[in-house]
Amino acid sequence: MTDIEFGKKLGATETGIPGLVVFDLPVHGDSRGWFKENWQREKMTAIGLPDFGPVQNNISFNDAVGTTRGIHAEPWDKWVSVATGRIFGAWVDLREGPSFGAVYTTELDPSKAIFVPRGVGNSYQTLEPDTAYTYLVNDHWSPQASYSFLNLADETVAIDWPIPLSDVEISEKDLAHPRLADVAPIPPRKILVIGSGGQLGRALRAEFGDAAHVEWTTRDDFDLGAADLRSARRWRDYEAIINAAAYTAVDLAETAEGRADAWAANAAGPARLARVAAEYGLTLVHVSSDYVFDGSAEGEYDEEQAFAPLGVYGQSKAAGDVAVSTAPRHYILRTSWVIGDGRNFVRTMAGLAEKGVDPKVVDDQRGRLTFASEIARAVVHLLRGGAPYGTYNVTGAGEARTWAEIAAEVFEITGADRSRVTGVSTQEYFASATGPIAPRPRNSVLSLAKIEATGFAPRDAGQQLREYLSS
């Protein structure tokens, strides 16, 4: 029988397979027996265990030495341990990517456990009679789920089984599994992009390219207000949701109809996504706005600044931020003065320059342009880089300017005389407006220090403006 090592400290050891981590478990015992904390969320996540949210606990009892279970890769994460007895475990990475086919083996007794990420094939052989093999999983078994299998005797991975496979009990099913060359690799979990038809959605398409695991939806085929949002997808197959949809008509939001639409799109919809993300352990990416502030601060706004929105659009965006922040895994990207495909301020100014029109442009609001391509680049950086969850300001870098200064620069870049642009106050600019006008923050300059600390280098907004106009 196993001689359990008592008194080990809780610890984690990386293996050669990404995400596959072995844990030492403290076992306390005396003449009466022993006790251990087999899974303790707070302590174990503190030393690197993913907060994987188990929903089911299974036990496989094996009464004979040499019982061998096949190499199965399932679409969920597993926390594997032994309650009694001892096993030889073998894990093979069956996920798409450079580590496909990588092998790790070790013995487990009650003082050790292993975290097995989705897509890593799991198998074992019992080394003692009456072995109870236990595992927690973060999804319920489903016949619709996609599995992958590998033959226990595959020559490529060449697992050195302690007891020859010819001498042990193996199911016919496990004996029939394919060799590595014939295994269909498990693809990464999906990323769902909501609002893919907008300017940010199009920029995300350019950033992700033709990645097969990214799913694109528009308002027509994904309704944020649908009552069945929880069942709209098999959410355990997803890694992240990117919410690129928003109501951005800031002036129309001041009308009765616009107010309802703004709150539905910017607050209620993100709140529903946050509930889904929290329940299924997804990462929720959401885009915020400088309009959550009133623009009265001196200097740059950082991510901790208290909300003080002036109008309906800003209020609905602030409410959306609060809702999204309830999802444990979230990234809120706060932006300002977004420029992308389609109609926008830069294109309008370039058109006026070409037509010989001399515009009056607001000169008492300051900020930096944020090109949609820059937001898309930041989204991918945060998702792939594993930055701490939370809110990050994302704009172009460089000197802050007024709208009038940006307009003059557009004129100059397009070969027109920049002096044709006349600066006016916000009040003067909207003096002749006949409909409701939303209040604008005068200071929209956002600090970029936090996202820069993650290794992201925002590009200069002026340089991007020149590239945008030249294209």
Q: Which residues are catalytic?
A: 72, 135
* 343, burial (CB in 10 Å: exposed 0-12, middle 13-18, buried 19+): exposed
CA 408 – CA 127 distance, rounded (Å): 78
> In this structure, are strands 422-424 and 148-150 parallel, antiparallel, or unpaired?
unpaired
Q: Positive or negative, the Cα torsion across 253, 259, 265, 269?
A: positive
H helices present in 1-137, as ranges: 41-46
CA dihedral 200, 395, 324, 380 (to 10 degrees): 60
Structural contact between residues 374 and 199, judged by C-beta atoms closer than 8 angstroms: no
Q: Which amino acid would we find at residue 451?
A: I
CA 458 – CA 370 distance, rounded (Å): 10
First to last CA, the chain: 73
Comparing C-alpha atoms, which of 37, 13, 15 is closest to residue 23?
13
H helices present in 252-368, as ranges: 256-263, 269-280, 312-324, 345-355
CB-CB neighbours of 441 under 10 Å: 25
Strand order in the sheet with 21-24: 11-14, 21-24, 112-116, 78-84, 131-137, 56-62
